[in-house]
Amino acid sequence: MRVAATVWIPDRSPGPGRLADVELEVLAVGDARLELPALVVEDVRGGLGLDRRDDLRADPSGGGGPFEAPAARREARAFGIANAAFHLRRAVARFEHLLGRPLPPLVCRIGMHGERRPPWGGGHYRLPAPSYRTLPEDSPPSPDGEIHIGPGARYGRAGGRRYFLAPSHNAAILVHEAGHHLTRHTADFRMNRSRPRAAQANRKVPLDEGTADFVAAIVLGTPDIYGWHRGATPDGAPDRRRLDLPRTMAEWRGGRVADPHVDGGIWASALWAAREATLAAGAPAEAFDRLVVAGLDRLGTVEAGPPDEARLSRRRHLGRFLEAILAADRDGGTGLGPLIEDVLAERGIRRGLDNDTMRDVFLDGEVAVGEAAQ
């Protein structure tokens, strides 16, 4: 059945977007749960009575922060379920279109880890694991992956007014986490296919985080995917995670102490630059997007075996992902390979080198150019 719902549609404004009425294809409605084709979205706090409503049109109620009345908080939670369902279904449909096959069903649970003080305000993509470095799970996630969305922890601005930054109201967080579902079932950067289904690895590598940011940008249609809730962060700061920044391997840190989101931004910005170059050359953006997704798929099949450190290390190499994209270009006869390779080389990303070596080679080249200029 098709059910009317109200959602935020991002429009590059300094806020969550514009309110719009849409229709969702819904298979079943529960108290605080929606079941859509290959997607379940549930608010684990319950008590919303969605199954007693005529439709899913709800008011965002300023995000439903702790200073709102209980009725307004419930309305904001109802809005968050519909908003998450719309953006996740839209993202997964786009990924499946580019991939050419369906992805495993996805589960999204909203309001997770609300007992923390302060409450958790983010999102993560979780698989069942023997242990968790942060935010332990009360029950094992689905072996095919779940998106967990926190209840929110702070205020921002929207439309000139205070707005509680509930992650379920934020399309960027939702679509980024859906990007991890795509990478898990294609590139499989942590080689979880080779692990027991109940003992997978959750730690994300820079390629995973950067690719999730890139696919979020193509779904949302903007390189400034986090411009709403990170609007106070300077445009040029890596933490803003804009994709249209001239980031290079000179910034690469690597290792376990580095933030994979920040290092991953180097890869995301390089992909965005290559996509823009593709458009400037007269090719459709989707041609480039298909190559990236095809490259992801290749990475998941090029090497089998147990997830030992050597294999895991190779899957973290940016140059290896570039090789997979170029191979997809050759097989498909797209003719974009030389352009892509040139754009990524300008950022210091080359074939045949590990990440740290690429950084060192790029830095040496910058020094040589500077010395020559003197």
**DSSP state, 192?**
G
Q: Is residue 272 a part of any domain in this protein? A: yes
What CATH number does the domain containing 349 carry?
1.10.390.10
pLDDT at 368 over 60: no
138 and 259 both lie in a single domain: no
Instruction: Please provide the size of the chain in residues.
Output: 374
Q: Which amino acid is at 316?
A: R
pLDDT score of 366: 64
Q: Is residue 181 a part of any domain in this protein? A: yes
Give the domain-ending residue among 150, 185, 220: 185
Tokens of 240: 């803003």
Q: Is the dihedral of CA 240, 242, 247, 250 positive or negative?
A: positive
Rg of the chain, C-alpha, whole Å: 21
pLDDT tier for residue 373 given thresholds of 50, 70 and 90: very low
Q: Is residue 190 a part of any domain in this protein? A: no
Query: CA 42 to CA 173: how far, in whole Å?
Result: 16
Query: CA 91 to CA 83: how far, in whole Å?
Result: 12
142 and 220 both lie in a single domain: no
Residue 262 CA: distances (Å) to CA of 138, 147, 228, 240: 29, 21, 18, 9
Number of separate domains in the chain: 2
Q: Is residue 320 a part of any domain in this protein? A: yes
308-323 confidence digits (pLDDT tens): 888 898 999 999 999 9
137 and 4 both lie in a single domain: yes
121 and 17 both lie in a single domain: yes
Give the domain-ending residue among 151, 185, 219: 185
Q: Is residue 193 a part of any domain in this protein? A: no
Between 150 and 371, where is the model more confident?
Answer: 150
140 and 242 both lie in a single domain: no
**DSSP state, 12?**
S
223 and 159 both lie in a single domain: no
114-156 confidence digits (pLDDT tens): 888 788 999 999 999 999 988 999 899 999 999 999 999 999 9
245 and 159 both lie in a single domain: no
181 and 149 both lie in a single domain: yes
226 and 174 both lie in a single domain: no
What CATH number does the domain containing 58 carry?
3.10.170.10
pLDDT score of 370: 37
Q: Is residue 195 a part of any domain in this protein? A: no
Tokens of 252: 């690469």
253 and 290 both lie in a single domain: yes
Percent of the chain with pLDDT over 90: 84
Q: Is residue 191 a part of any domain in this protein? A: no
12-69 confidence digits (pLDDT tens): 888 899 999 999 999 999 999 999 999 999 999 999 999 999 999 999 999 999 999 9
What is the domain extent for residue 228? 203-374
163 and 20 both lie in a single domain: yes
The answer to whether the peptide bond before residue 10 is cis (omega within 30 degrees of 0) is no
2 and 106 both lie in a single domain: yes
The answer to whether the CB of 82 falls within 8 A of the CB of 56 is: yes
Q: Is the dihedral of CA 230, 150, 95, 261 positive or negative?
A: positive
Q: Is residue 197 a part of any domain in this protein? A: no
Three-state SS annotation for 347-364: CCCCCCCCHHHHHHHHHH
Phi, psi of 112 (to 5 degrees): -75, 150
